[in-house]
Amino acid sequence: MIELIHVTKRFGETTAVDDISLRVERGELCVLVGTSGCGKSTTLRMINRLIEHSDGEIHIDGQQIREFREESLRRRMGYAIQSTGLFPHWTVERNIGLVPRLLKWPQARIRERVEELMAMLGLPMGEFAGKYPRQLSGGQAQRVGVARALAADPDILLMDEPFGALDPITRETLQEELRDLQSRLQKTIVFVTHDMDEALRLADRLVVMDQGRIKQQGHPLELLREPADDFVESLLGGEDRGLKEAALLSVSERMLPLSPRLLPRERVSQHASLREALSIMLWRHAERLAVVDDEDMPVGELSLRKLVGAKAHD
Ligand SMILES: Nc1ncnc2c1ncn2[C@@H]1O[C@H](COP(=O)(O)OP(=O)(O)OP(=O)(O)O)[C@@H](O)[C@H]1O
């Protein structure tokens, strides 16, 4: 568990982070969003002490971070950044094994761990282990960066726009992998992004920052439905919030049982979001959709009326 209590960071005259309090539970994925320069990266870097905070307290599992030896703090925290920070003259294998090597793991264990991570992130060892960062695509390099952050199996992951500047398909794949990793391995993650769709898709807790302060925090649905002020509302997408909310709700939440009427021809998966369902309706000019399971068997139906008519919070 990570806890920031009235934390402030000043750089000379500039107050980059201004009296913020934040608690991230074990296994929770917390996303920081806000305008450029609002203090997101500074907040992240204070947690692993790349930057020392000026005031307040930061605790990891109840212990002040200043009481940890730096090595043990870094071992508990993986750190991934947009520019990846890979060493250009080191192979992929050596880059990923960096922290375990610093921790003096035996050679065989390091190799085993690197192999495991590369498989997990879809980078076949035979193809990628000996490559250098310049021989990788942006997406592959970011995967290596994420693998390196995970190498010593830290409980905490700090990620600063780790998927920035990727094409939407690679980005979505990595987001799903991160979600999957988090739920399988119960990692506590603090994630910074500029991309609101990414933030809404990933966050258990969404934290909106402005000029060094926290404006609002909570579950993405809470913030979408009740933004604290105009700033939060407009950052979350203004009029587009309805669609953003629909993207977080599943078809199965609004589906009706199969009726004796003729089954609609157009289909949608029960795992799809309401936003996807709405898009199919618009695209196909259909007011009703058959909802199907993984075997493509109809399990219910969804009507446009039910989709738009039902109150957002029931
Ligand atoms: N080392 C530093 N020295 C002086 N000022 C700094 C330093 N690092 C950050 N700042 C200032 O602190 C404020 C917050 O910066 P920070 O990088 O945390 O913002 P951010 O929200 O991550 O921005 P972005 O989204 O653009 O990456 C900015 O005004 C920045 O100029």
Parse the chain into domains and list their residue ranges: 2-244, 249-309
How far does residue 57's CA lie from ligand 1's centre (Å)? Answer: 20
Is ipTM over 0.85? yes
Task: For 151-188, write each residue's pLDDT tens digit.
Answer: 988 889 999 998 886 778 878 888 888 888 888 888 89
Q: Determine what percent of the chain is predicted with pLDDT higher than 70.
A: 98
Task: For 9-68, write each residue's pLDDT tens digit.
Answer: 999 999 999 999 999 999 999 999 999 999 999 999 999 999 999 999 999 999 999 998
**Alpha carbons 283 and 297: distance in angstroms, whole number:** 22
Helix axes 274-284, 241-248, angle to 10 degrees: 110
Q: Which amino acid is located at 206 in the chain?
A: L
Residue 158: φ, ψ to 5°: -110, 125
Task: Look at the block and give the residue holding tokens 């991309």.
Answer: 195
Query: Which residues lie closer than 8 Å to 78 by C-beta, 6 or more apart?
Result: 99, 148, 149, 150, 151, 152, 154, 156, 157, 158
- CATH for the stretch 2-244: 3.40.50.300
- Assess whether the C-beta atom of 13 lies below 6 angstroms from ligand 1: no
> Which residue puts its alpha carbon closest to atom 16 of ligand 1?
39
- Assess whether the C-beta atom of 193 lies below 6 angstroms from ligand 1: no
Q: Is residue 314's pLDDT more than 70?
A: no
Domain 249-309 class, CATH top level: alpha beta
- Assess whether the C-beta atom of 37 lies below 6 angstroms from ligand 1: yes
pLDDT band at 238 (very low <50, low <70, confident <90, very high): confident
Pairing of strands 188-192, 29-34: parallel
Helix residue ranges per DSSP H, 82-202: 92-96, 98-102, 107-120, 125-128, 138-150, 168-185, 196-202
Q: Determine what percent of the chain is predicted with pLDDT higher than 90.
A: 67
pLDDT of residue 182: 85
Whether 155 and 187 have beta carbons less than 8 Å apart is answered as yes
How far does residue 46's CA lie from ligand 1's centre (Å)? Answer: 12
**Alpha carbons 288 and 307: distance in angstroms, whole number:** 10
Task: For 83-139, write each residue's pLDDT tens digit.
Answer: 778 999 999 999 999 989 988 899 999 999 999 989 888 889 999 999 999 999 888
pLDDT of residue 312: 44
Measured from the Cα of 43, ligand 1's closest atom is 18
pLDDT of residue 268: 96
Task: Look at the block and give the residue holding tokens 């750089």.
Answer: 11
